[in-house]
Amino acid sequence: MRVLYPALLTIGIVMTCATAVLAHSLEEVDQDLRDKEKYFQAVDVEAPAFTLQDADGRTVSLSDLRGKVVVLNFVYTHCPDVCPMHAERMAELQTMINQTPMKAMVQFVTITTDPKRDKGPILREYGQAHGLDPVNWVFLTAAPDQPEDSTRKTAESYGLKFTESEEGMQMHGIVTHVIDQDGRLRARFHGLTFEPVNLVVFVNALTNRTQKPHGHREPGLWESLKGLMQ
């Protein structure tokens, strides 16, 4: 497979999404990704609820985001290695999505698992440092009246364990979660080596509400991008 340059990838995504036509149902995209993306896990469960606050002290609940596809991850800002890389992967995904009509349909959410340290100014600086656009991205932390471990428990409810050491570091896995417009967790992309275009294709299937197969065979996003990558 040839390397797909960012500009070519962007052109392919923009041109295809602009047509608002997708030949595949979500089930077909699921199967395609199971075959081609080893870090993709299909899920269909109610996403665990959360109510936290953003860098400006505003309350944000998962229920507030109904009607949008949510791309969710967990980090802590003084993590020395994988968290910055995860933030940069989120920024890469956001850039790809925001150059398409999906921009208004997708909300990126990052939750810190160290709310004791990660407060408003630090959250804002972290997002700016890693190129995340606040137009459809929010960084959440615990409210002052919530327990210090509340966001780590939220991470656990999504299947992630953040174990704090005596030095203040946290051992944890890396997962990018995708939640549909109805608040259902629909996918996990594990690690950092999945192909970004595969997550974008999955999000596009959700934004187009392609829950059931349909008959026309005009090329959709997945087929067009496969053609560009061959």
Per-domain boundaries in the chain: 41-211
pLDDT of 144 reads 94
CATH architecture of 41-211: 3-Layer(aba) Sandwich (3.40)
Question: E strands along 6-153, which residues?
Answer: 40-46, 51-53, 59-61, 69-75, 106-112, 137-140
pLDDT in tens, 129-187: 999 999 999 999 999 999 999 999 999 999 999 887 767 778 889 999 999 999 999 99
User: Would the pLDDT of 42 be above 90?
Assistant: yes
Q: What is the 3-state secondary structure (H, E, C) of 181-214?
A: CCCEEEEEEECCCCCHHHHHHHHHHHHCCCCCCC
The answer to which of 34-48, 61-75, 85-99, 205-219 has the lowest mean pLDDT is 205-219
Cα dihedral 157, 70, 89, 44, rounded to 10, equals 60
Query: Which of the two residues, 214 and 77, has the higher pLDDT score?
Result: 77
Cα–Cα dist 119/141, whole Å: 7
Using the structure block, give the residue that is written with the tokens 């409210």.
143
User: Would the pLDDT of 122 be above 70?
Assistant: yes
pLDDT in tens, 187-200: 999 999 999 999 99
CB 69 within 8 A of CB 106: yes
User: Would the pLDDT of 60 be above 60?
Assistant: yes
Q: pTM (2 decimals)?
A: 0.82
Amino acid at the residue 158: Y
Using the structure block, give the residue that is written with the tokens 């700016």.
128
pLDDT of 217 reads 43
pLDDT of 10 reads 53
User: Would the pLDDT of 221 be above 80?
Assistant: no
User: Would the pLDDT of 22 be above 50?
Assistant: no
pLDDT in tens, 61-119: 999 999 999 999 999 999 988 999 999 999 999 999 999 999 999 999 999 999 999 99
